[in-house]
Amino acid sequence: MRGHRDLQAACLAAVACALVAALVPWEIVRLAAGLPLTLFLPGYAIVAAAFGSRELAAPKRAMLSVAVSLMTLALGAFVLNIFPFGLETASWAVLLPLVVIAACRGAALRRERSQRGRAGRPALPRPATGSLVLGALAAAIALGALALAEKPLPAENAKGFTALWMLPTDEREDAVAIGVDSNQHDFHSYRLRVSLGKDQSKTYRVRLDPGEERVYEVDVPARAVGRTHVVASLYKAGDPQKLYRRVTSWLPRQMTFP
């Protein structure tokens, strides 16, 4: 590949991006490395191998690089699936640089056969300062649009609710976890009553801010025969007589259908 700077750069970039993507823990860095490795470099190398250096206009080369990269990813998944290790970070991090290096090698051979010398770089127009400022402003507004879209907003007319749930804490099923999860717009107070069979019960006062969840663990007394009927009932503090939520379980569970 000597004398073909673009191909050398593609190979080095593929290896470097793969190493960064596989080894670096920070998502933003991995994203910066992973995107060219997946969406550009494989296609660039394969198109270079197919066309040589000067046979294709830059816009078409760029479009084909991305398109062929997408094809390579789809087909690459099919190929990796054949192997026992399958589709993993490591297998992608090996496959994609291999594709790039192999295709670049092919491209170098093809270029040496068909033409010698380095491909000239197309001259890029130098934008005016005003254009740069307007371009930057456009990019900032577009990013602002995306940021606004991602931001959760208050939705006062949306019907908030508080969920109540109950599950055994482990496989022994001698205790239950009872959760009260608020998806309300403001704080609410509740009374949680847990009855364990016919004789025992426990009561908790629960005050929840929006988005807050409280989990209570309650031991279930062992019974010699039969099952313990566990019932958790939630009442609003302001309306203590009216049942708001109820969850139930019979422990230990039968694990068969009715």
Partner 1 sequence: MQTRLESPVVIALLAAIGLFLCSLANALSRETLEPSQLIYWLGVLLIAVPIFLRLTSSGPSYRERLGLVLLLGLALYGVKVVHDAPLFTLSDEYIHAFNVQQIERFDHLYHFNPAISTSPYYPGLEGATSALTMLTGASTYLCGTILIGAARLVQMAALFFLFARLSGSARGAGLGVAVYTGTSNFLFWGAQFSYESLSLPLVCVVLMAFVEREEAPPRLRGAWTVPIVLGILAITITHHLSSYALAIIFVALAVLYRVMRVDKPNPWPFAVLAVGSAAAWLLIAAESTTGYLFPVLENAVKAIYETAFGDTEARQLFGSPSDTAEAVAGTPIGARAIALLAIAVLGVISLIGLRQVWRRERRKPLVIIFCAFTVAFFAALMLRFAPAAWETGNRAGGYFFIGLSFVAIYGTAQLLRRGPRQMRRRLLLTGALAVVLVGGAISGWSWDLQLARPLKASADGKDVFSEPLALAEFAKQRLDGSRFAAPEADARVLLFPGGQIAYGGQGPDIEDIVEEPQLRDWQLPLLERNHLPFLVADRRQLSGDTLRGQYFSVKNQYGNELRPQGVVHKFSEIPVGRVWQGGRIVLFNLRDRP
Among positions 115-174, residues that touch partner 1 (CB under 8 A) are: 127, 130-131, 134-135, 137-142, 144-146, 148-161, 163-167
DSSP conformational letter for 174: S
Least separation in angstroms between CB 66 and partner 1: 5
Least separation in angstroms between CB 118 and partner 1: 20
194 touches partner 1 (CB under 8 A):
no
Structure tokens at 80: 């990796």
34 touches partner 1 (CB under 8 A):
yes
Within 10 angstroms of residue 216's Cβ, the number of other Cβ atoms is 16
Least separation in angstroms between CB 24 and partner 1: 9
Report d(CA 256, CA 258) in Å as an integer: 7
Q: Which residue, chain included where needed, has tokens 């409280």? A: 214
99 touches partner 1 (CB under 8 A):
no
109 touches partner 1 (CB under 8 A):
no
Angle between helices 58-82 and 89-114 (to 10 degrees): 130
Q: Which residue, chain included where needed, has tokens 């009260």? A: 180
Report d(CA 31, CA 72) in Å as an integer: 19
Least separation in angstroms between CB 6 and partner 1: 17
Within 10 angstroms of residue 143's Cβ, the number of other Cβ atoms is 10
41 touches partner 1 (CB under 8 A):
no
Q: Which stretch binds partner 1 (CB under 8 A): 3-11, 176-184, 197-205, 217-225?
A: 176-184
With respect to partner 1, which residue has the nearer C-beta, 2 or 254? 254
Least separation in angstroms between CB 250 and partner 1: 5
Site for partner 1 in 2-21 (CB under 8 A): 18, 21
Contact 183, 162 (CB under 8 A): yes
With respect to partner 1, which residue has the nearer C-beta, 202 or 245? 245
Structure tokens at 246: 């109820």
Contact 110, 49 (CB under 8 A): yes
